[in-house]
Amino acid sequence: MVHAAWSTAAQAALAPFLDGGGALSEEGLVRTGRAADPMRQARETLLNGPKAEPPASITFPDKDGHERNAGRLRWWLAGATGLTWRDAFLGPPDPESLPADPVPEALLGAADPDARPVVFGHYWMHWPLGALSGRHACVDASVAMDGRLAAYRFSGERVIDPDRFVSV
């Protein structure tokens, strides 16, 4: 489980700043609060997901109607070959407005070598939920926007089972 994105690189960057219980130390809290500190970006990746601006000057309204030019990336596609901005970017309602140019591999990073499933939230999906890949599931069914409170009933499977999503 992770809040928004599983990133071994971000976890490794923050590891020296964790206390014995796995929480950020005082120094870690200070560093992740500084705008120019790389530790802030590591924290942002885990808590909000990786963000990027597409190469073209594209703006689009967010869920609250504010114009944006950067958006989150589908980090669970890391390691896939031939990804374009249309494949990797979560943003405009019309993906065709994005360039079909390749996404730089560094933006998504390498594929996670750990084969265990990853369940996360923070991505405003809609019910019914389903697997985003064989081992990635988002349980955010937009409850704050009249959606559903959702969960995934994990019981040790190595592949996400669409029948194990539940909601109230």
3-state secondary structure 30-59: HHHHCCCCHHHHHHHHHHHCCEECCCCCCC
What range does the domain containing 39 cover? 8-48
Do 62 and 39 fall within a single domain? no
Confidence (pLDDT) at 74: 95
Confidence (pLDDT) at 160: 97
Do 42 and 54 fall within a single domain? no
Task: Determine, yes or no, domain membership for 2.
Answer: no
Give residue 18's Cα distance to chain centre: 22
Confidence (pLDDT) at 57: 78
Task: Determine, yes or no, domain membership for 168.
Answer: yes
Confidence (pLDDT) at 54: 86
Confidence (pLDDT) at 96: 84
Do 131 and 154 fall within a single domain? yes
| pTM exceeding 0.85 | yes
Confidence (pLDDT) at 127: 95
Confidence (pLDDT) at 23: 95
Query: At residue 26, what are phi and psi to the nearest 5 degrees?
Result: -60, -45
Do 87 and 133 fall within a single domain? no
Among 127, 61, 135, 55, smallest CA distance to 94 is for 61
Do 120 and 69 fall within a single domain? no
Confidence (pLDDT) at 62: 79
Do 166 and 143 fall within a single domain? yes
Task: Determine, yes or no, domain membership for 126.
Answer: yes
What total of structural domains would you count in the chain? 3
Confidence (pLDDT) at 164: 97
Task: Determine, yes or no, domain membership for 3.
Answer: no
Do 55 and 85 fall within a single domain? yes
24 has which bridge partners? 18
Do 60 and 94 fall within a single domain? yes
Do 43 and 92 fall within a single domain? no
pLDDT in tens, the chain (168 residues): 999 999 999 999 999 999 999 999 999 999 999 999 999 999 999 999 999 988 877 888 877 888 888 889 999 999 898 999 999 998 777 788 888 999 998 888 888 889 999 999 999 899 999 999 999 999 999 999 899 999 999 999 999 999 999 999
